[in-house]
Structure 1
Amino acid sequence: MHQPTSEARPSIYYQYQVFQPWLPSQHPAQQRQQVVIVGSGPSGMVTALELARHGVASVVLSAELQFSQGSRAICFTRRSMEILQQVGVADRMTEGGLPWRFGNSFYRGQRVFRMEAPHDPDDRFFPIINVQQQYMEEYLYDACKANPLIDFRWGNKVVQVEQQDGYARVTVDTPEGEYRLESDWVVAADGGRSPIRTAMDLQMEGASYEGFFVIADIKIDLPLPTERLAYFDPEWNPGNTILMHREPNGIWRVDYQLPEGETPEQALRPESLKQRIDAQLEMIGFGGTPWEMDWSSVYSARTLTLPDYVHGSVIFTGDAAHLLPIFGVRGANTAFQDAQSLGWQLAHVVKGLGSQQLLANYSAERVGAAREIIAEAGKSTRFMTPPAGGFQLLRDAVLSLSLTQEFVRPLYHWRTSRPHEYSHSMLNSRGDDNALFTAGPAHGAPPQNIRLAANDFLLDHLGGGFDLLYFTEAESIPAALQAAIDAARAKGIALRVTAVGAAQPVAGADQTFADADGHFRARYGVRASGAAYLLRPDQHVCARWLTLDAVRLQAALNAALPQ
């Protein structure tokens, strides 16, 4: 029988709650489920919340009885916050988080590069916000618990998944023994060491980099701003790199590479941790400042992905699908994008609004995103921790030149995680005017947020289905276009119409936003009435037109929901 630990995990700043296990004897016989999600990390819970937004129930299975140990993911991007806004937890993230937009690189005691992430008045969220993962998991869990379509089961460990004809049979172990659960679909969100992936003998593609890195969270009072701090080739750790981040609750993250040959066990000895952290504090001018250890761990950099995320009735997402280095805040941020993409496409398959081509598209899009990230992250990793030989020589030359030569300093840029643009998605319209636009978000891109009022933004009003942004100053939506909209809704397609430009409400539109100064139209590259954008339920653009009519709208919806 599975016996998860019932002792609360230690932490200086976070009070862990131990939840009661879900026991089969306390519940009636299990019926066939639509979706079972294995894993209660960021990708698992966001997938459940996304499915629920589209009216699809799920069961979430967590082998543990409490949230993950340690701060783990701490840096969340603007796009992640926009996704978390859709599932209802962005406000709590903002309340407790530390926003920032600058990153600093130091060499030989000199700041040689300062990165500034873009931020303008149309952005609700900062480029990055720091929040420890336990808090993020707590906020997601509270949202799951409040949703009647999500059945969350603590202390339930999946020990076997058997593929059947059109469904899967899941064997689940609990503190009082095993039970079986049948489901049309199983989402494997069971982490980087995914037991499901291992049991299915699925191999990842990519590379694993040499060397290990220590993450240490310490409680310390440092009068430094919330900015990324990177120190290259310090005297106390020659040839290696140290990163520092401020976290909420007086915690600082110290991240450093180990010398060649040192084992993780040696690195995590208290005397080793103290020596390295004291040396780092001494180097930055705060030697002797008292500090206390909260949590430490060791990781290695890997750039790996499954070549296909869909295998029969089992769908992989998050770290179960790919392993990415932390440089550039790519782990949880990529998982959120996976979950958002999977949630709407799986929901439309379950509801019969689209064929299983949607799941093939999910795999193609997210594998493509992982490979793009791997290419970018590989460059960052080779600069942060260069392999011996040519990479080492090149990195050392950049470090040396950067002390006096401005032109090499941008090579320090850490290629921050960004939302993938599904430019070649099979869901993009083939007959629209995408190529004729000179501005605005293109095929596959996420939308450009727009500030509508002091604390009111476009993305506050979108989501839950397809969104049609229709630019017009007329009194009503054209009759033929309205008929096409009504026909789509009659089929069960959630389609919201937002009119942009008119001073008064437009008949047939669900909402109208005036655009007296033309700012909205300029950001979307629109020059005349009748233009439009169609956003998928994950808000990525799948069609845009200089002039929209009913036939073109229907063609775009047919492409986005293949039958």
Structure 2
Amino acid sequence: MHQPADTPRPSIYYDYQVHAPWLASQHGAQPRHTVVIVGNGPSGMVTALELARHGVPSVILAAELQVSQGSRAIVFTRRSMEILQQVGTAQRMTESGLPWRYGNSIYQGRTVFRMEAPHEADDRFFPMLNLQQQYMEEYLIDACAAHPLIDLRWGNKLVDIAQNDDGVRATVDTPEGDYALQADWLVDASGGRSAIRDAMGVRMEGASYEGLFVIADIRIDLPLPTERLAYFDPDWNRGNTILMHREPHGIWRVDYQLPPGESPEDALRPESLKSRIDAQLAMIGFGGTPWEMDWSSVYSARTLTLPDYVNGRVLFVGDAAHLLPIFGVRGANTAFQDAQSLAWHLAFVVRGWAGRRLLANFSAERVGAAREIIDEAGKSTRFMAPPSRGFRVLRDAVLSLSLTQDFVRPLYHWRTSRPHEYTHSALNSTGDDNALFSAGPAHGAPPLNVRLGADDFLLDHLGGSFDLLYFTEAEALPAPLQAVVADVRARGVPLRVTAVGTGRAVAGADQALADADGHFRRRYGVTASGGAYLLRPDQHICARWLTLDATRLKAAFDAALPQ
């Protein structure tokens, strides 16, 4: 029998809530479910919330009775915040978190490179926001609990699965014993130690780096800004890199590499942690400042991915699908993009709006994203923790030259996580005007936000369906376009039409947005004579036109919704 811990986890800043376990004896006979999601981490809950937006119910199996221990993911990108806005938690994140946009690379006491992440008036969210994962999970849990299509079951641990062409049968263990659960689809969002992945015999591809790193969260009062601080080759930890981040509630993250041969057990001994944190504080001029430990852990940098995220009726997402280095804030931020993508692809298959071929596209796109991240993250990892003598010689040469030579300093750039552009997606229209645009988001890119008012942005009005942005100053959409829109909706496909121009109501459009000064048009690369963009439910661009007619719009939908 599964007996999850029912004592609140220790923390000096976060009050853990222990939830009551879901027990089969307290409920009636189990129906067959549409989707079962294993894991209540970021990827699992965002998947459930996005499925629910498309009218698809799900059951979330949470093995524990409380949110995860320790701060874990602490840096969330602008694109992650845009995704969290779609599921209703971005406002609470913004109110609780610390925004920032600068990163500093420090060598021999000098800032040799300063990263500045772009931030424009059109952006609702800062490039990065620091907040401990417990709070992010809490906000997602509250959103799930408020949705009638989501059944979150605490203390339910999946112990076995069997699948066939029609669905999945799961065995779930609870504090009172196990029960059977049947579903059409099962989503594995159980994390890097996925038992499902192991049981199915699917293997990841890629590399694991030998170096081990310690994460330590300490409470300390430091008069330093909310910026990323990276210290290269410090006197007390030669050849290695130390990272520091400010977190809310007076917490600082200290991240450092261990020397070869030291075990995780030795690294986490209180005396070891204290001596190294004291050495770091002394190096930056705050030796003797009192501090208190909250949480510590050890991790290794890995660049691994499954070659396919779809295995019959089982779909993989987040760390169950790939393992990526945390350098460049790639963990949870990649998981959010995975979840948003999986949810709309799966929902459209479940609702009958597209054939199962659409799931192959989810896998192809997100495996491609993982491989791009692996390539970028590998460069950062090899610079921050050289895996061989050759890489170390190169890194040391950059460190030395950076004291006097400007041209090498950009090599310190940590290649921050960015939203993947599905440039070669099978869902992109082949007959549009993508190649003719000189500006604006291209095929597969996420949209550019546009400030419409003091607290009003374009992305506040989009998402959860296909979105057709139609630039016009006419009083109505052309009748042939309205006919295509009607045909798409007759199939059940959710589609919103937004007219961009005067701001006055336009016949055939669901909403109208004003662009009096032409800023919206310029940002999207369209002219005064018109133009259009088609966005998928995950907001990525799948077609754009300088001129749009009914035939081209129908072709775009045929490409985006394979049967």
Are 2:189 and 1:189 aligned? yes
SS at match of 1:138: helix
Tell me the amino acid that sits aligned with residue 316 of structure 1.
Answer: F
Residue 296 of structure 1 pairs with residue 312 of structure 2: no
Contact 2:165 2:312 in 1 (8 A): no
CA-CA distance at 1:210 after TM superposition: 1.3
User: Counterparts in 2 of 1:104-119, with a 5 A limit?
Assistant: 104-119=104-119
Counterpart-to-counterpart distance in 1, 2:448 and 2:116 = 19
Gaps of 5+ in 2: none
Shift of 1:503: 4.2
Maintained 8 Å contact 1:499/1:506: yes
Q: Report deviation, 1:420.
A: 0.2
**Secondary structure in 2 aligned to 1:94?**
helix
Cα offset, 1:305, TM superposition:
0.1
Aligned: 1:425 with 2:416: no
**Mapping 1:69-108, distance limit 5 Å:** 69-108=69-108
Aligned to 1:491: 491
Determine the structure 1 residue equivalent to 2:324. Answer: 324
Aligned residue for 1:523? 523
Q: Find the residue that maps to 2:210 and give its secondary structure.
A: coil
Superposed, 1:355-394 pairs within 5 Å as 355-394=355-394
> In 2, Cα distance between the equivalents of 1:276 and 1:501?
60
Q: CA deviation at 1:87?
A: 0.2
2:43 corresponds to: 43
Per the alignment, residue 310 of structure 2 pairs with 310
1:528–1:546 Cα contact (<8 Å) kept: no
2:33 is the counterpart of 1:33 = yes
CA-CA distance at 1:530 after TM superposition: 3.5
Distance 2:126 2:253 in 1: 20
Report the TM-score when normalising by structure 2. Answer: 0.99
Q: How does 1:526-537 map to 2 (within 5 A)?
A: 526-537=526-537
**Counterpart of 2:13?**
13
Alpha-carbon shift at residue 211 of structure 1 (Å):
1.1
Question: Following TM superposition, by how much is the alpha carbon of 1:492 offset from its aligned partner in structure 2, in angstroms?
Answer: 0.5
Please list, as runs of the form range in 1=range in 2, the aligned pairs for 1:46-57 lying within 5 A after superposition: 46-57=46-57
Secondary structure at the aligned position of 2:471 is classed as: strand
1:483 shift after superposition: 1.1
Amino acid at match of 2:379: K
Query: Superposition pairs for residues 446-461 of structure 1, below 5 Å?
Result: 446-461=446-461
CA distance in 1, matches of 2:560, 2:388: 47
**Corresponding position of 1:216:** 216
SS in 2 for 1:143: helix
Q: Write the distance in 1 (CA, Å) between the matches of 2:530 and 2:258.
A: 59
Deviation (angstroms), 1:260: 1.0
Superposed CA offset, 1:354-375 (max 9, x none): 0111110000000000000000
Post-superposition shift, 1:529?
Answer: 3.1
The alpha carbon displacement at 1:505 in A equals 1.7
Query: 2:120 corresponds to which residue?
Result: 120
Instruction: Tell me how far apart the structure 1 counterparts of residues 353 and 490 of structure 2 sit (CA, whole Å).
Output: 12
In the alignment, does 2:549 pair up with 1:549? yes
Counterpart in the other structure of 1:513: 513
* 2-structure distance, mates of 1:176, 1:515: 60
TM-score when normalising by structure 1: 0.99
Greater shift after overlay, 547-556 or 220-229?
A: 547-556
Q: Which deviations, in whole Å up to 9, do the C-alpha atoms of 1:253-295 show, x marking residues without a partner?
A: 0000001111100000000000000000000000000000000
Q: Return the alpha-carbon distance in structure 2 between the equivalents of residues 182 and 391 of structure 1.
A: 51
Kindly state the Cα deviation for residue 486 of structure 1 after the two structures are TM-superposed.
1.2
List aligned pairs for 1:172-321, cutoff 5 A: 172-321=172-321
Q: Distance in 2 between matches of 1:307 and 1:532?
A: 35
Mapping 1:152-191, distance limit 5 Å = 152-191=152-191
Q: Take 2:250 and 2:317, find their aligned partners in 1: how far apart are those partners? A: 33
Q: Aligned equivalents of 1:558 and 1:60: distance in 2? A: 33
> Residue type of the partner of 1:297?
S
What's the RMSD between the two structures over aligned residues?
A: 0.6
| 1:201 CA displacement | 1.1
Q: What is the percent sequence identity of the aligned residues?
A: 79
Of stretches 505-514 and 234-243 in structure 1, the one that deviates more from structure 2 is 505-514
Shift of 1:137: 0.2
Work out the number of aligned pairs and report it.
Answer: 563
Give structure 1 regions of 4+ aligned residues with deviation exceeding 6 angstroms. Answer: none
Q: 1:349 aligns to what SS in structure 2?
A: helix
Superposed displacement of residue 165, structure 1: 2.9
1:391-418 CA-to-partner distances (Å, cap 9, x unmatched) read 0000000000001111100000000000
SS in 1 for 2:447: coil
Cα deviations by residue, 1:434-480 (Å, 9 ceiling, x for unpaired): 11111100000000000000110000000110000000000111111
Gaps of 5+ in 1: none
- Secondary structure at the counterpart of residue 210 of structure 1: strand
SS in 2 for 1:387: coil
Q: What's 2:335 paired with?
A: 335
Paired AA for residue 251 in structure 2 = I
Q: Match for 1:415: what amino acid?
A: R
Which letter maps to 1:250? G
Counterparts of 1:547 and 1:360, CA distance in 2: 31
Confirm or deny: 8 A CA contact 1:345 1:362 kept in the other structure: yes
Q: Partner letter of residue 498 of structure 2?
A: T
Shift of the alpha carbon at 1:351?
0.3
Q: What is the CA deviation profile of residues 325-344 of structure 1, one whole-angstrom value per residue up to 9, with x for unaligned ones? A: 00000000000000000000
